[in-house]
Amino acid sequence: MELSGKPCPKAAVTESLTSSVPLFDPAQMPLRTWCAGSREDPLTGLITFPDFHSNIPRALAAALTDGGLVGLAIGDVDGLKDHVEQANATDPNCYGHLAGNRVMARLGAVTRAWFHTQPWEAGCAATFGGDEVIIAVTLDGTSAFHRAIAELRDRLADELPVRVSFALTVACAEHLPAQPGQGSWKHHFTDALLAATDRCLFASKSVRCANGGEGGIIAVTQPPLPGPTTPASDLRALLPLPAGTETLHVLARPLGTGVHSMLLLPCAGPAGLRGKRLRVTFPDGHARTAVAVSVRGQAAIPGDTAATIPPDTPGIALTLQPIRDRAARSVPDDLATALERAELDWSALPDHEQAQMLHLITESATDGIRTARITAAIDAVATRTRSC
């Protein structure tokens, strides 16, 4: 009843309730099959974390139980607090937190647009904390997921006044509990996966800040195993070692103790007995050359500090860069990268064939012709290697 004494008008029974967040077109929600019907975060347009956290455990468990791969990435804005404080101090038309909201709104818009260009059959993008984003998807390959996250990182760098750093991991069936049992094991498993990825992100950002490095890194870690640390059984969940001019940030885990201790990398091991030489930068900024070898298919480097890592820490943040062999230093970068990816030795070709190949590649009229000639050179080296 109103204050005037008149009865209040009754709303029609068929009148629908107004959405609490009528800000975005539902068709633009960054999801594919997973988390359908979830609410939108009013600032970013991404899925709200409570709905993500409620729905994603079942989706992850189902995908992994069926033998699939699942990629999980967490992105965190670098230096958002500094940006907010600077805006508050220098822009009279914009109080600081409004500047932060603008950053997050633009982050959400770019992430949504990027998500809809990806080929994943199932997945979603959600908020996580105040300035973080989560990507969870089914995968066909680990390398493609790493490239997709790098593309998102680069898009955000073009659109935002700050950088965004990511950590990612790829899970497979071997990471599921050996005896799931009943109850809420799916949520416990999901929380452990999120925690491992988040710790990797914080560890890598802490090292970057301590050494004065730039933001916008992508760090890679492995999901926690249900038992002791061992090399991966399913090599599909591992990235290749960096090649060419690539730089890879990883979280390495100790394997063994004493003089024979090793640091397991979240990468596939190199072929052959010679291993692969890498330039490894440690958290204190010290860099040294190490030879990565294959331990049951997974890459590992000698770990002088492995025994000193506390057991309750997620691992040690390393930066990996390839070292080109002297024989390959005279070849173009794109050919050198292709040779490293194929794990081939350019010196397998006779000198006159090397000269002919290099002449054809450098004289290519178009990028397409150059790519085709590099492919032909790789085939020639592979054929010569097999015949030796």
**pLDDT range class, residue 327, cuts 50, 70, 90:** low
Last residue of a domain, one of 172, 190, 220: 220
Q: Which regions of 105-161 does DSSP assign to beta strands (E)?
A: 123-127, 132-139
Alpha carbon distance 365, 372 (integer Å): 12
The most confident of the ranges 164-173, 200-209, 376-385 is 164-173
Which CATH number do you get for residue 265?
A: 2.40.30
> What's the pLDDT tens digit per position in 222-247?
998 877 778 888 999 999 999 878 99
Q: DSSP 3-state assignment of 317? A: strand
- The arithmetic mean of pLDDT across residues 107-133, rounded, is 94
The answer as to whether 233 is a domain residue is no
Helices (H) and strands (E) in the chain — how many of each? 8, 12
Alpha carbon distance 319, 316 (integer Å): 10
The most confident of the ranges 78-87, 88-97, 110-119 is 110-119
| Orientation of helix 96-115 relative to helix 142-159, angle to 10° | 140
Q: Indicate if 183 and 47 belong to the same structural domain.
A: yes
Q: Indicate if 174 and 262 belong to the same structural domain.
A: no
In whole angstroms, how far apart are CA 2 and each of 8, 12, 13, 15, 58? 6, 18, 20, 21, 49
Which CATH number do you get for residue 141?
A: 3.30.70.270
The answer as to whether 7 is a domain residue is no
- The arithmetic mean of pLDDT across residues 212-216, rounded, is 86
Q: Which helix (H) or strand (E) holds 310?
A: none
The answer as to whether 271 is a domain residue is yes
Alpha carbon distance 177, 193 (integer Å): 12
Q: Indicate if 270 and 346 belong to the same structural domain.
A: no
Q: Indicate if 301 and 369 belong to the same structural domain.
A: no
Domain extent at residue 289: 242-322
**Exposed/middle/buried for residue 208 (C-beta within 10 Å: 0-12, 13-18, 19+):** buried
Count: domains in the chain? 3
Alpha carbon distance 208, 162 (integer Å): 15
> What's the pLDDT tens digit per position in 268-321?
998 877 788 899 999 998 999 999 999 999 999 997 655 456 556 678 999 999
The answer as to whether 108 is a domain residue is yes
**pLDDT range class, residue 107, cuts 50, 70, 90:** very high
